[in-house]
Amino acid sequence: MNLTFGPVPSRRFGLSLGLDLSPDKKRCNYDCLYCELAAAKPVDTIDDPLPADRFIDALKEALKDHPETEVITLTANGEPTLYPYLHELIQKINTLKGERKSLILSNGSTLHDPAVRSALAQLDMVKFSFDCGTPRCLKRLDRPLRTLEPATLARHIQTFRQIFQGQLVLEILLVAGINDKPEEIAALNTLLKNLGADRIDLGTVDRPPAYPVTPLDYHALHQIAAMFDADLPVHIVSRRTIQSQPARFDEAQILDTLAKRPLTMEDMQTLFDQQSLQTFHQLLSADRIAKKEVMGLTFYGTAFSRQKSKKTGQNP
Ligand code: SF4
């Protein structure tokens, strides 16, 4: 039974070695329509968990083979916070990880439990799913085992944020016809405002899903990204970006786009044609656009360029 996998290069987090806390079968308390694992009845426990030392031994072996690993990622065939020895496991990872970062990929649904919150607070990075702003959407899309409301989820993330010093990423996975409607985005926007996320990743269905659902194209993702408040650190992550047709943006349109939503170079190479990219570089050279590093990604925008000029006086 393989307890580790990778390392795999992750543009979002770095070269990542995974620890699979439910290695033999899927165990999740959600049954998301878009899940890339096969559909399975939701459960809220890992019934026959392996001891933490089994994972630590496997991790030590994997790190010997892959010393270049940058991130140790806790994940599962399902939801990793169902693993009952999480606190012990993370403590032991922290004693051997050195300069590497630790990360968990979770749906965030168990944060009501103080033991889960204090275990996760020992990590360097956490990524929680946050797909829906309304109870109806959560029930229809993520299909939790027990009734859960987005507002409750948000409250628990807020409580966790108060004790968590690391980097918090939220991920919204958009599915056509379910959570892409303006009223759903408005509800999400309201809930996300107070969660203190370092980054909000906006994606869509990229891999074969458990149930038949439809992804959004890049332009739809871009339009939705622009509906969120400009000070929310929303970032489009879908691999479907390559299916988009670059378009012509003049100077005013580029500045307007970046004022509403900072973009990465990859975003712009997807959205902008060659001439628009040249215009972008001219604006960058003229300091009318600035750069900002957020968790390993470089964003270009205008809002933080004004903040920088206020703080440092270096920019006009
Ligand atoms: S929370 Fe993750 S593992 Fe669980 S069903 Fe949803 S996508 Fe799959």
Which of 244, 270, 305 terminates a domain? The answer is: 244
CA separation (Å) from 133 to 83, 98, 229? 27, 38, 15
Q: Is residue 312 predicted with pLDDT exceeding 70?
A: no
How large a percentage of the chain has pLDDT more than 70? Answer: 91
Number of other CB atoms surrounding residue 82 within 10 Å: 23
**Which of 187, 213, 244 represents a domain boundary (last residue)?**
244
Indicate if 237 and 260 belong to the same structural domain: no
**Which pLDDT value is given to residue 61?**
93
226 shares a domain with 296: no
Q: What is the pLDDT of residue 168?
A: 96
Q: 165 and 25, same structural domain?
A: yes
234 plus 274 within the same structural domain:
no
**Nearest residue (CA) to ligand 1, atom 7:** 35
Q: Strand 290-294 vs strand 199-204: parallel, antiparallel, or unpaired?
A: unpaired
Residue 275's domain is classified under what CATH number? Answer: 1.10.10
Tell me, yes or no, whether 86 and 118 share the same domain: yes
Is the pLDDT at 243 greater than 70? The verdict is no
What is the rounded average pLDDT of the residues 223-245?
Answer: 78
pLDDT tens track for 135-184: 999 999 999 999 899 999 999 999 999 999 999 999 999 999 999 999 99
Statement to judge: residues 93 and 130 lie in one domain: yes
* Burial class of residue 93 in the structure, from the number of CB atoms within 10 Å of its CB (0-12 exposed, 13-18 middle, 19+ buried): buried
Nearest-atom index, ligand 1, CA of 78: 3
CA atoms of 155 and 117, how far apart (whole Å): 13
**pLDDT at site 176:** 95
The total domain count for the chain is 2
- Domain with 289 in it: 246-316
- Please say if the pLDDT value at position 12 is more than 70: yes
Based on the domain organization, do 236 and 251 belong to the same domain?
no
The verdict on 80 and 225 lying in the same domain is yes
**pLDDT (0 to 100) of residue 57:** 96
78 lines ligand 1 (CB under 6 A): yes
Could you tell me which residues come within 8 angstroms of residue 2 by beta carbon, excluding any fewer than 6 positions away? Answer: 20, 23
- Span of 18-27, 33-42, 260-269 with lowest mean pLDDT: 260-269
CA of 173 to the centre of ligand 1 (A): 11
Q: What is the pLDDT of residue 166?
A: 95
Residues 172 and 57 in one domain: yes
Model confidence pLDDT, tens digit, residues 37-75: 888 999 999 989 999 999 999 999 999 988 989 999 999
Do 163 and 215 reside in the same domain of the chain? Answer: yes
Residues 216 and 82 occupy one common structural domain: yes
- Ligand 1, closest atom to CA 107? 1
